[in-house]
Amino acid sequence: MLIPPMPAPLPEEVLIQRATLPLKPASISLSGQYVHLAPLDLARDVDPLFALSNGQPATLGERSIGAYDAEELIWRYMSEGPFATAAELKACLQKQVNAPNGLCLCVRDQATGQPIGAANYLSNSPENLKIELGWIWYSPLAQGTKANMEATYLMLQHAFALGYQRLEWKCNALNERSRRAALRMGFTFEGTQQNHLIVKNRNRDTAWFRILAAEWPTVQPFLATSLYNK
């Protein structure tokens, strides 16, 4: 039986990032053509985020929506929500803001400056040069636009520039919309971990996706073309 060879050691310039990257990702602001991301400010952002995600009629620029089922359109596959009050949403977001190995970002519509959702760097592991994009959600007014793709693109671009070697995306295996989004944005499906979590008193199977640093030079122009050349 042949024993496979060990991989070659990583270059020193890659390994040095393990000691320089902080456990809690540094605060950043990222701007694109469609969205702007900045660390979520609970005092500033909770009320407008709640107004756009609680099922009530809402308006974003020239887009509007009547009453809708917030559980179905936003919160069904999330670990928390829907939220009956802004205080409940704030309590959930507070945990993300305080996460010792995560960074919660508010996603704003570039044209109006209005908050439209949130996205997080999660489960940061500098010693392994990997980090996750997760707890991503948007108002129905932003769903179906380029907001999610550009926000993800900006977060990927930033993380790989810092020296991360692996970017992860996980979702409820039943969440077809999230699974399609991951594939559309260049992530590779790695498999399903059964009974991975208990969420809302139910077993959750989790679908795992990733992009590696070696794949980013191919994924990056693909995403840029999808965003800006159509």
| Residue-level pLDDT, tens digit, the chain, 230 residues | 889 999 999 999 999 999 999 999 999 999 999 999 999 999 999 999 999 999 999 999 999 999 999 999 999 999 999 999 999 999 999 999 999 999 999 999 999 999 999 999 999 999 999 999 999 999 999 999 999 999 999 999 999 999 999 999 999 999 999 999 999 999 999 999 999 999 999 999 999 999 999 999 999 999 999 999 86
Q: What is the pLDDT of residue 2?
A: 87
Q: Is 12 a member of any domain?
A: no
Which letter does DSSP use for residue 97 in this model? Answer: H
Q: Is 92 a member of any domain?
A: yes
SS (H, E, C) 179-207: HHHHHHCCCEEEEEEEEEEEECCEEEEEE
Q: What is the pLDDT of residue 1?
A: 80
Q: Is 10 a member of any domain?
A: no
Q: Residue 165 corresponds to which amino acid?
A: Q
Q: Is 7 a member of any domain?
A: no
Tell which residue, 150, 158, 69, has the closest CA to residue 109: 150
Tell which residue, 53, 52, 69, 50, has the closest CA to residue 61: 52
Q: What is the pLDDT of residue 230?
A: 63
Task: Write b or e for each residue in 130-156: b if 16 or more Cβ atoms lie within 10 A of its Cβ, otherwise e.
Answer: bbbbbbbbbbbbbbebbbbbbbbbbbb
d(CA 7, CA 223): 29
- Counting the structural domains of the chain, the total is 1
Q: Is 3 a member of any domain?
A: no
Q: Is 98 a member of any domain?
A: yes
Domain that holds residue 185: 23-228
Which letter does DSSP use for residue 32 in this model? Answer: -
Place of tokens 């980013």: 216
Instruction: State phi, psi for 164 to the nearest 5 degrees.
Output: -65, 145
Q: Is 111 a member of any domain?
A: yes
Q: Is 13 a member of any domain?
A: no
Output the domain CATH number for residue 197: 3.40.630.30
Q: Provide the whole-model pTM.
A: 0.96
